Chain A
Amino acid sequence: MVVAPKSDELRRVLDDDGNVLPGAKAPEIPEADLKNLYRNMLLVRLIDERMLRLQRQGRLGFYMTSTGEEATHMAVYALRPEDWVFPSYREPGAAFFRGYSIRDYICQLYGNAADPIKGRQMPVHHAVAKIHYVSISSPVGTQIPQATGMARGAAIAGKEDLAIVYFGEGATSTGEFHVGMNFAGVWKAPVLFFCRNNGWAISTPGSKQTASKSIAIKAAAYGFPGIRIDGNDILAVIQTTAEAAARARAGEGPTLIEALTYRRGAHSSSDDPSVYRDPNEPKQWEKSDPIERFRRYLERQGVWTAAWEKDESAAIEAEIVRDNDEAAATGAPPVESMFDDVYEEMPWHLREQKEWLLRQARTKSPHYHH
């Protein structure tokens, strides 16, 4: 166990080269789990590359990558499967780790008839109830008080479940960050606030979001600890999340984790960072790539080999290709499904509008490609 540093110090377990730092202790993780964690990070990297390419080819309407931030997704390893994840739009690895399939993921991007959310939202706005992965909203920060409420709800129900909520540093400027943190502090709610401080909110740098020395120190004002960690160090992510989860389950309340990382790609496929960002900046961050760092650690542990990675990559690529082909060949959801799930039962006005639409000549959405 690392001696908890003061909140503004950066907690690390691994150095950039994947060595365990002096004074740090790597969390004990079975070999199969280490491999699984690595494989999930690799999956995020590979699927991001391929889906962004599809978007560039005009085959997907929109996409968002997580390149360079994959280690933060693996915080869920430190939680129980029944704990709840309130994601933003840049943590798909947390869903993959819990068993979200590549097939469902890609079908969501296409918004096709097999999309688990029935074509209701833009790409990357997943919702996976069976793995307690809550529906994603585009306006940032909205999920923060919701996570606090769920955590309080679990406590009221007498359960040990907790909630982790992901957000970027941009979201810490919202009123809902304040509201969610403040309610959680007062309630001692079992919630983990996980801030991916990746430096950029579209074109706005962190320095324009807050005059505060860090995000982590903001926790002090709400009466609970804030810890700043190296977000590209998967072992620091897991170790800190495990400690925060133990605190929460012991009834000691929330923790704010500020994971320092970097958005190496664009905000989204609609964004062009060359307009506002020095291209050398993401290059510099490639040196502390979270996957490469973890790879070196695993290699030293005798867990990773080039042959194993080659096999894993090939298997992932093959699955992506197969599922993408299938997703691309799957048609749009039936037009009448537009009216489902607004309410549990369809009220008269929606029923009438649906019947009216079904009497019209069928129009095809220009956004739907296949």
Chain B
Amino acid sequence: MPVMNIIQAVNDALKLEMRRDKRVVVLGEDVGKFGGVFRATSGLYEEFGPDRVMDTPLAEAGIVGTAIGMALYGLRPVPEIQFADFIYPAFDQIVNELAKFRYRSGGQYPAPVVIRTPCGGGIRGGHYHSQSPEAYFAHTPGLKVVMPSNPIDAKGLLLASIRQNDPVLFMEPKRVYRAARGDVPEGDFEIPLGQAKVVREGQKITLVAWSAMVHTAQEAADKAAADGVDVEVIDLRTIVPFDVETLVASVKKTGRCVIAQEAPKTCGFGAELVATICERAMEWLEAPIERVCGFDTPFPYTLEHEYMPNADRIVGALKRVLEW
């Protein structure tokens, strides 16, 4: 099995699906000859040509808006928004248009568009190249939100996303785009949306994360293990719809939970998880759930490593919840 990083896995999925399905087209800023600023679409222009790999004018509302029209016509567009921080000019097209087309037309107009966008900090990108805006979109009925943490999931989830018929926001963890490497099967496979993965089994406490934060959570679990604490780590993989069964089963087993989220704390997706656990597993909880999050500040440049949750902060939270 070849070893790939996340960029290569995304690229592999796109190539595979574009060869298999002529309806699949890619569009966005610099995705053509240049192959994307992170190289995720590298080689696609050469293989599939300018009609299926489109360098667009520089306007996110246009990228998503035109992708919607292509989807209504029967294509399977996979637009790229260069950084998640640039997605807001397309916000109305995503939340009011794309996400609502099927519903508002009484099921007459499904709009299968998969928007790929890199998210998250830790790359010295400052406020406009570091944000994790998933909660805005998780609050949007009609949209699915997928956030893989590693190469095999990135490939399998991207293939599954393009093949199903609902709009998907596919957020890629750019901090570990190249650092996260792993075996990725060649050829076709899918990882179903809505299924979390227990990436480390444990008995004492459940630690939930998604996207790049999964790697920080695993580091924290390693540190805790050195202190004899047996942590179960869940990679949520899909935010909407999230895997409630895996989450609740784990918390019922351990009785304790910490959630690690890179985005700002207030109204972050972690809050939704806390509420869900309280609704379904209150009597199994032996301690309050703690969230380890980004702060409720704009994403800072110089102090980004003070801002982002790290393994030590997570270990601190694990200890507090265990000792409560």
**Residues on A close to B: CB < 8 A?**
84, 86, 115-118, 120-121, 125, 127-129, 134-135, 137, 139, 142, 144-157, 161, 163, 175-176, 179-180, 182-183, 186, 340-344, 347-349
Contact = CB atoms under 8 A, between A and B. Distances in A.
B106 A343 contact: no
B69 A118 contact: no
B68 A156 contact: no
B93 to A, nearest CB: 7
A344 B56 CA distance: 29
Given A117-B105, A344-B164, A344-B166, A139 B96 contact: yes
A149 B65 contact: yes
Contacts of B109: 127, 129, 134-135
A186 B54 CA distance: 11
B69 A147 contact: yes
A149 B68 contact: yes
B141 to A, nearest CB: 5
Nearest to A163: B69
Interface stretch (B70-78, B255-263, B294-302): B70-78
Contact of B106 (A86, A116, A154, A156): A116
B66 A129 contact: no
Given A116-B106, A342-B142, 8 more contacts: A128-B108, A142-B96, A144-B65, A147-B69, A150-B73, A342-B102, A343-B144, A348-B244
Contacts, number: 149
B105 A343 contact: no
A180 B65 contact: yes
A347 to B, nearest CB: 4
A-B CB proximity, top 9 nearest:
A149-B69, A145-B65, A149-B66, A150-B69, A347-B241, A117-B106, A127-B105, A153-B70, A179-B62
B97 interface: yes
A183 B65 CA distance: 10
Most A Cβ at <10 Å: residue of B107, B144, B166: B107
A183 B165 CA distance: 26
A342 B98 CA distance: 11
B93 A142 contact: yes
Interface string B232-245: 00000000110010
B56 A183 contact: yes
Contacts of B74: 153, 157
B104 A344 contact: no
Contacts of A118: 106-107
A122 to B, nearest CB: 10
B92 interface: yes
Contacts of B105: 117, 120, 127, 129, 135
B283 interface: no
Contacts of B25: 153, 156
Contacts of A145: 61-62, 65-66, 68-69, 93
A115 B106 contact: yes
Given A149-B65, A180-B65, A340 B107 contact: yes
Contact of A154 (B57, B73, B194): B73
B97 A341 contact: no
Nearest to B60: A179
B45 to A, nearest CB: 14
Contact of A179 (B51, B59, B67): B59
Contact of B108 (A127, A151, A342, A348): A127
B101 interface: yes
Contacts of A148: 62, 65-66, 69
B89 interface: yes
Contacts of B51: 155-156
A341 B107 contact: yes
B200 interface: no
B77 to A, nearest CB: 8
A363 B104 CA distance: 22
A343 B56 CA distance: 29
A179 B57 CA distance: 9
13 contacts: A128-B108, A134-B109, A135-B109, A145-B61, A145-B68, A149-B67, A149-B73, A149-B77, A150-B73, A153-B72, A156-B70, A180-B66, A344-B110
Nearest to A108: B106
A108 B109 CA distance: 16
